[in-house]
């Protein structure tokens, strides 16, 4: 049997990526391996339940949101090429006092409503170039997703996996029992066609008309305009829903809805939508706000900006765009 390739060996082979960038990726990956142990410990590590306060987005923080956030902060603060970081769980950016190198944005625990019921959760991260010759400020973080130097996520599921994109392509690693990341999937590619959609149907009454019509077409199955039966899946952790799409195709929607018209969508651009969009595009899928506009081209205006998300199998995302163009 050939020896599996470790993450360290894989990173060493990625000579098209800056060595400092690879060091940041290794640091985040190591922290995710440590987070995996805390997550797996559940009640035994005293990490379940609410932390007793809310974050900047007015969401109740779970203990694990706080624990994982602190683990990533500490690790990145000690990582030489990192000049600054931003997190879903922090009101403002934090700087390390260093200049140049990279900025890291992250969702330390995605899908935190799943944690107390032992369902998959994850960590999402995005790495951006930092400005040279100055300590970064918030404006330096507001770069379009296309400028990401790398992006990835860890999925804490039946297996703990790390999915990464550096300069090109998407690779996935599985954490072995000894705590080592081993390459298990190379050149991941999302099939262009699918019969599986993921959306929180309980929000149906709040959706815009094109999304209603698109989903209605899927629900009509063989006898409707699409001429095929669809299946529905919703894990309620973007990491897990996107991972399924990377493995076997599908479409994921967290669309604009009318609950809070000024707050476009639920998912956050800088540490959820952008890193996932880079991974999805690099795997041959599409990631848009509405079936048409690529998320990676958006110019961010706020650190905690929210965006509608429609991503996944290319032809299916195009279907949403086609409905959209017909108009409401």
Contact footprint for ligand AHG (CB under 6 A): 59, 88, 107, 110-112, 200, 236-238, 254, 266
Query: Minimum Å distance from CB 110 to Mn ion?
Result: 4
Query: Minimum Å distance from CB 208 to ligand AHG?
Result: 16
Query: Minimum Å distance from CB 15 to ligand AHG?
Result: 34
Enumerate the β-bridge partners of residue 162. Answer: 154, 173
CA atoms within 13 A on the CB side of 182: 11
Nearer to ligand AHG, 115 or 149 (CB): 115
Q: How far apart are CA 108 and CA 21, in angstroms?
A: 19
241 near Mn ion, rule: CB under 5 A? no
Nearer to ligand AHG, 49 or 227 (CB): 49
Q: Quick one: what does residue 236 bind among Mn ion, ligand AHG, none, with the CB cut-off 5 to 8 Å set by partner type? A: ligand AHG
Nearer to ligand AHG, 111 or 255 (CB): 111
Nearer to Mn ion, 14 or 69 (CB): 69
Give backbone dihedrals phi and psi of 277, rounded to 5 degrees, phi first.
-65, -40
In a 10 Å sphere around its CB, with 0-12 CB exposed, 13-18 middle and 19+ buried, how is residue 133 labelled? exposed
Query: Minimum Å distance from CB 178 to Mn ion?
Result: 28
Nearer to ligand AHG, 107 or 316 (CB): 107
- Of all residues in the chain, what percent are helix, strand and coil, respectively (each to 5)? 40, 25, 40
Residues 62-101 that bind Mn ion (CB under 5 A): 88
DSSP string for 128-163: EEPPTTS---HHHH---GGG-SEEEEEEESSSEEEE
Q: Quick one: what does residue 156 bind among Mn ion, ligand AHG, none, with the CB cut-off 5 to 8 Å set by partner type? A: none
Q: Go through the chain and tell me how many residues it has.
A: 328
Nearer to Mn ion, 55 or 289 (CB): 55
Residue at shortest CB range from Mn ion: 110
Work out the angle at residue 225's Cα, subtended by the Cα atoms of residues 211 and 199, and round it to the nearest 5 degrees: 30
Query: Minimum Å distance from CB 239 to ligand AHG?
Result: 7
Nearer to Mn ion, 110 or 241 (CB): 110
Nearer to ligand AHG, 14 or 105 (CB): 105
Q: How far apart are CA 270 and CA 264, in angstroms?
A: 14
Query: Minimum Å distance from CB 242 to ligand AHG?
Result: 9
On whether the CB atoms of residues 128 and 103 are closer than 8 A, the answer is: yes
Among 18, 107, 140, 241, binds Mn ion (CB under 5 A): 107
Helices (H), the chain: 7-13, 19-41, 63-77, 138-141, 209-219, 238-248, 274-282, 314-326
Query: Minimum Å distance from CB 267 to ligand AHG?
Result: 6
Helix (H, G, I), strand (E, B) or coil at 173: strand
Q: Quick one: what does residue 260 bind among ligand AHG, Mn ion, none, with the CB cut-off 5 to 8 Å set by partner type? A: none
Q: Quick one: what does residue 237 bind among Mn ion, ligand AHG, none, with the CB cut-off 5 to 8 Å set by partner type? A: ligand AHG
Quick one: how far is CA 235 from the chain centroid?
14
DSSP string for 242-257: HHHHHHH--EEEE--B
Give backbone dihedrals phi and psi of 141, rounded to 5 degrees, phi first.
-80, -20
110 near Mn ion, rule: CB under 5 A? yes
Q: Quick one: what does residue 196 bind among ligand AHG, Mn ion, none, with the CB cut-off 5 to 8 Å set by partner type? A: none
List of residues contacting Mn ion (CB under 5 A): 88, 107, 109-110
């Amino acid at each position: 049997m050939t020896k599996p390739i470790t993450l360290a060996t894989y990173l060493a082979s990625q000579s098209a990526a800056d060595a400092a960038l690879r060091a940041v990726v290794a640091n985040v990956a190591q922290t995710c391996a440590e987070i995996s142990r805390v997550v797996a410990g559940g009640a035994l590590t005293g990490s379940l339940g609410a932390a007793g306060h809310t974050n900047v987005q007015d969401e109740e923080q779970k203990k694990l949101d706080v624990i994982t956030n602190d683990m990533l902060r500490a690790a990145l603060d000690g990582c030489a090429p990192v000049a600054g970081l931003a997190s879903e769980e922090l009101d403002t950016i934090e700087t390390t006092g260093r200049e140049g190198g990279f900025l890291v944005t992250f969702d330390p625990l995605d899908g935190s409503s799943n944690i107390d019921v032992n369902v998959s959760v994850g960590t999402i991260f995005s790495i951006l170039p930092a400005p040279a010759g100055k300590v970064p400020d918030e404006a330096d973080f507001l770069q379009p997703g296309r400028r990401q130097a790398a992006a990835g996520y860890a999925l804490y599921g039946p297996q703990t996996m790390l999915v990464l994109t550096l300069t090109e392509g998407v690779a996935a690693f599985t954490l072995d029992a000894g705590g080592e990341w081993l390459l298990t999937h190379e050149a991941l590619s999302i099939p262009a066609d699918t019969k599986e959609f993921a959306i929180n149907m309980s929000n149906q009454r709040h959706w815009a008309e094109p999304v209603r019509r698109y989903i209605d077409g899927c629900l009509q199955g063989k006898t409707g305009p699409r001429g095929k039966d669809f299946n529905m899946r919703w894990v309620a952790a973007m990491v897990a829903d996107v991972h399924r799409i990377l493995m076997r195709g599908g479409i994921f929607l967290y669309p604009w809805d009318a609950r809070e018209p000024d707050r476009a969508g639920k998912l956050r651009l800088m540490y959820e939508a952008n890193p996932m969009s880079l991974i999805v595009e690099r795997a041959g899928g599409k990631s848009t706000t509405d079936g048409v506009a690529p998320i990676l081209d958006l110019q961010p205006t706020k650190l905690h900006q929210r965006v509608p998300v429609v991503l996944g199998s290319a032809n299916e995302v195009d279907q949403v765009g086609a409905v959209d163009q017909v108009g409401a």
